[in-house]
Homo-oligomer: A and B are copies of this chain.
Amino acid sequence: MAVYTEVSDEALRAFLAEYALGELLAFRGIAEGVENSNYALKTTGGDFILTLYEKRVDPGELPYFLGLMQHLASRGLDCPLPVPARDGVALRELAGRPAAICTFLPGVWPRRIRPQHCAPLGDALAQLHAAGANFAGQRPNALGPAGWAPLLDRCRAEGDSVPPGLVAELDQALAAVLAGWPAAGPLPRGQIHADLFPDNVFFLDGPAGQPQVSGIIDFYFACTDLLAYDIAVCLNAWCFESDHSFNVTKAHALLAAYQARRPLTAAERAALPVLCRGASLRFLLTRLYDWTSTPAGALVTRKDPLEYLRKLRFFMRAEGPSAIGL
């Protein structure tokens, strides 16, 4: 469910009157995304997505997110382009929420990842990093390494109920990951997506039937951080099979395509295993927090934190770059 806020007819009408998008033709809630309310909006001007930003998004950060999407789209990345109203302003208010209309992107996110998805993904990720290179905005990664210990502390009381011994295992892993985390400086930094899961990447079939990336969406975790951390997130999110095994063929395809646009530095290659462990921890911890703090009956699908415990264990054991596809 991703419609938390209903929009009245009058409010929608008044909101759209500020745009030059033509007449309203359709307005349907979209059942995807979990953070914000999303509506498919059709006008005589075309198809759009209307997003109402819900409580997990800090309104003060929206100018960064929307500015980044504008910047990336203007550099040719297929991402949603915020549509300004007649007064030139894209970030507005609707139904008491910050709201924006973005362009609609064609494509379908893959329900089952095939190796053929991973090269176009790696290529698109490198494109994203290149396109973001000269963006002036900055946003610290609120869910980066500095945030993990506090997050684990908030799960301490109930975390062991998920499986017994979990908290001790996470304490150990976190200490090891933080001790091995690359120092600021040597690794290239920039604008990263930081949440590039399969449901945020649309594909269309190319001329020979091979999948091609048609759009990257949902930049609401984007931040300024190590570029290689974005790769680590993708290795976590795209390269495990449903039986929890790591598919090194997928990882290799992703990494090779990324490096065809931007070869990793020696420091990045050396750091990638620990970045992967960190990315596992990040998703494990937020899922664990949601799992232990979501009231029964809430209209949100809780994602299984144990999936990321298995990934963390894999990356904790993975020795050297070749084990992860480098």
Residues on A lying within 8 angstroms of B by beta carbon are 1-3, 6-10, 12, 23-32, 40, 42, 47, 104-108, 110-112, 202, 204-205, 296-299, 301
Contacts and interface: CB of A to CB of B under 8 A. Distances in A.
Given A3-B31, A26-B104, 7 more contacts: A7-B111, A23-B204, A23-B205, A26-B202, A28-B40, A30-B30, A297-B298
A7 B23 CA distance: 33
- Copy number of this protein in the oligomer? 2
Contacts of A12: 108
B106 A31 contact: no
With a 10 A CB-CB cut-off, give which of A202, A204, A297 has the most chain B CB atoms: A297
Return the 9 tightest CB-CB contacts between A and B, nearest first: A29-B31, A1-B1, A31-B31, A27-B108, A3-B31, A296-B297, A25-B106, A8-B111, A297-B297
13 contacts: A2-B31, A8-B111, A9-B110, A9-B111, A23-B204, A23-B205, A24-B108, A24-B204, A25-B204, A26-B107, A26-B202, A29-B32, A31-B31
Residue of A6, A47, A301 with highest tally of chain B CB at under 10 A:
A47
Nearest to A28: B30
Contact of A108 (B26, B32, B111, B112): B26
Contacts of A3: 31
A196 to B, nearest CB: 18
Contacts of A30: 28-31, 40
Q: Which of A10, A40, A298 is the most central at the interface, judged by chain B CB atoms within 10 Å of its CB?
A: A40
A297 to B, nearest CB: 5
Contacts of A32: 28-29
A31 B24 CA distance: 19
A23 B298 CA distance: 38
Nearest to A26: B106
Contacts of A24: 108, 204-205
Given A1-B1, A29-B32, A9 B112 contact: yes
Nearest to A37: B31
A301 B299 CA distance: 8
A289 to B, nearest CB: 18
A10 B211 CA distance: 12
Contacts of A112: 8-10
A9 B108 contact: yes
A70 to B, nearest CB: 22
The winner among A107, A111, A204 for most chain B CB atoms within 10 A is A111
Contacts of A29: 30-32
